[in-house]
Amino acid sequence: MPARTAIPVPILAALWYAAALGCWGLAAGLIRYAAVDMPALQIGFLRALFGALLMLPWLVPQRIAPVPRRHMGLYMARGLLEVVAIACWFSALALMQAADVVALGFTLPLFATLLAALFLGERLRLRRGIAILVGLIGAVLVMKPGGQNMAWIAALPIATSICAAASRIISRHLAQRGEPMVTLVASLGFITAPLLFPLSLWGWEPLTLAGVAIGFVIATLSLIGHVFMVRALRLEEASALAPYEFSQLLVAVAFGIAVLGEWPDRWTWIGSTVILGAAVYIVRREAALARQRAQGAG
C-alpha cells in the first residue's frame, strides 16, 4: 500500500509547484542582480554550462548520452530556439525590472497554443482564440506603451515566450517518440552552452569568484525548479496547478524590492493578472478537451 501523507495530494502538488516557480522567480532576480556587473549573455553561458555539469550525476552512472544521435535534427532545432530564448530572457532581465519580465513570460502558454494550431494541426477554437487575444492585451499593459520602456526592450520577453513555446512543442514531440526525460533536460545545457560561448565573448568581463558563484546558484535553482515541477506534475494535472503561476512573480517582486529597490507599478499587476487569467483558461480548457477526447476514444 502507498505510504500515507498528512498533507492532501492537491495541496502537496501545489506546494511543489509553487516551490518550483519560486526557484525560477529567485533565479530571475539573481540574473537581474548579476547583470549590473556582467553581460547578460555571459550570465546565460554560465547558467547553461553549470546546468550541463549538474546533470552529469544522472547521466554518467546510467551511461546516457546527453545529446543522442537519434532525432539529432530536432534536438539541435530545440537547442537553437533555447539559445535565442536565453539571449532574449537574460537581456530583458538586464534592461527591465524582473517583475515585468516574469509577467510577460506568462504569455508562453498563449503562444504554445497558437503554434500548436499552426504547426501541429491542433484545432484553435473560438474561446481559446479570444483568450489568446485577451492575454496579448495584458502583455501590452505590462509593456506600458509610451512609458519608460522602449518597445524593443519590452518585446524581448515576448520573443522568449515564442521561442520557448516552439521548443516546448518539439519537446512534446520528442517525448511522444519515447525520449527519456533526463535526456530531454540534459541535452539543453549540452547544446546551448557551446552555442552561447562565442556569443558571450562579445563584451566578456573577467570572471570573479562572486560572478561564478552566482552563475552556479542560478543554474542550481533552475535545475531544482525542474525537479520540483516534475514532482508536482506527478501528483496533479498541469491545469489544476496553473493558477499558482503567480508565485513566480511574487518571488521576483519580493527580490526586486528587497535587493534592488525596484517596485513594480500597477500596470505590471493589472497586465500580469490579465495574462495569467488567459493562460490559466487556455490550460484548463485544453485539459478538459483532452479528457473529452479520451472518454470518446474509450
pLDDT tens-digit readout, 185-241: 889 999 999 999 999 999 899 999 999 999 999 999 999 998 898 888 788 777 677
Confidence tier at 148 by pLDDT (50, 70, 90) = low
CB 13 within 8 A of CB 230: no
Cα angle 115, 181, 219; round to 5: 85
Q: pLDDT band for 169, please (50, 70, 90 cuts).
A: confident
The full set of domain ranges for the chain reads 9-297
For residue 1, what pLDDT is reported?
41
- Measured distance CA(123)–CA(290) in Å, rounded: 12
Which residues, 6+ apart, have CB-to-CB distance to 256 below 8 Å? 29, 32, 97, 98, 99, 262, 263, 264
Rounded to an integer, the average pLDDT of 114-132 is 80
182-215 burial string, b = 16+ CB within 10 Å, else e? Answer: ebbbbbbbbbbbebbeebbeeeeeeeeeebeebb
Residue 150's pLDDT is: 60
pLDDT higher at 125 or 188 = 188
What is the DSSP code string of the chain? Answer: -PPP-SS-HHHHHHHHHHHHHHHHHHHHHHHHHHTTTS-HHHHHHHHHHHHHHHTHHHHHHHT--SS-STTHHHHHHHHHHHHHHHHHHHHHHHHS-HHHHHHHHTTHHHHHHHHHHHHS-----HHHHHHHHHHHHHHHHHH-TTSSS-HHHHHHHHHHHHHHHHHHHHHHHHHHTT--HHHHHHHHHHHHHHHHHHHHTTT-----HHHHHHHHHHHHHHHHHHHHHHHHHHHS-HHHHGGGGHHHHHHHHHHIIIII-----HHHHHHHHHHHHHHHHHHHHHHHHHHHHHHHH-
> What pLDDT score does 147 carry?
55
Mean pLDDT of 19-33: 94
- Rounded to the nearest integer, the mean pLDDT of the chain is 87
pLDDT tens digits, one per residue of 52-90: 999 999 899 888 888 888 899 999 999 999 999 999 999
Rounded CA-CA distance 222/236 in Å is 21
Check residue 240 and give its pLDDT: 73
Pairwise pLDDT comparison (256 vs 152), residue with the higher score = 256
pLDDT computed for residue 78 by the predictor: 94
Q: Pick the most confident of 32-36, 232-236, 281-285.
A: 32-36
